[in-house]
Structure 1
Amino acid sequence: MSIQVNRLADPTVRAFVSAVNSHDQAAFQAVLTPDATMSDDGSERNIAEWTDREIFSSNGHMDVENESDGGLVLIVSYRNDTWGEMRTKWRFTVDGGKVSRFETGQA
């Protein structure tokens, strides 16, 4: 059972998920701080390269199954054209209404 994007608790995380699912790179960039960082399965990644490969050029999509920590931690059924579907955990750090860091990995 997934949670509708418009029902996610944190408005910044809601904007992040919405941008991913609509493949809107401009909206995605707008929700990040200029110096935002990220990790994937514990390894630091270049955010621009990773998001292009794992989200935008491969039709990434987030179906949120669960949220905790005020909406800053999501369990997501994530799918893209490269890897198919997998259960992932996303943890967000939000500063001033923008995502300054996100960490993702297998759930």
Structure 2
Amino acid sequence: MTQPLDPTVQEFVAALNDNDQDRFYAILTEDATMSDDGVERNLTLWTDSEIFGSNGRMNVETVGDGGTELVADYTNTRWGSMRTAWRFTVRNGKISRFETGQA
């Protein structure tokens, strides 16, 4: 059975799917970091390209590790649709790191 998403992760997914940049960045810590397929990325440049500049959408399929890991069908206008894995580090109600890559 799939677990519920951590509330902070749920807000990340909702802000992403609503294409709400202000809400999205508000859920991240000021020093948040991220990686894509194991490569460290500039979070702002990556999200501008892969999420907000290309109409990113996430359809969560499964959730694990207390709601901080998920597998989703991720779609954007740049790459189309792909199965992706996401892992989040939540600190004081905000996301301090997320890692994503093909699942």
TM-score, reference length from structure 1: 0.93
Matched, 1:54 2:42: no
Q: How many residue pairs end up in the alignment?
A: 102
Match among 28, 35, 44 for residue 31 of structure 2: 35
Distance 2:66 2:41 in 1: 25
Aligned residue number for residue 92 of structure 1: 88
Matches within 5 A, 1:1-80: 8-80=4-76
CA RMSD of aligned residues (A): 1.2
> 2: distance between equivalents of 1:105 and 1:50?
13
Q: Which amino acid aligns with 1:106?
A: Q
**Deviations for 1:61-104, whole angstroms, at most 9, x for unmatched residues?**
00000000011000000000000000000000000000000000
Q: C-alpha offsets along residues 7-44 of structure 1, whole Å, 9 cap, x if unaligned?
A: 94310000000000000000001000000000000000
SS in structure 2 at match of 1:59: coil
Identical residues among aligned pairs (%): 62
Q: Which runs of 5+ in 1 are unaligned?
A: none
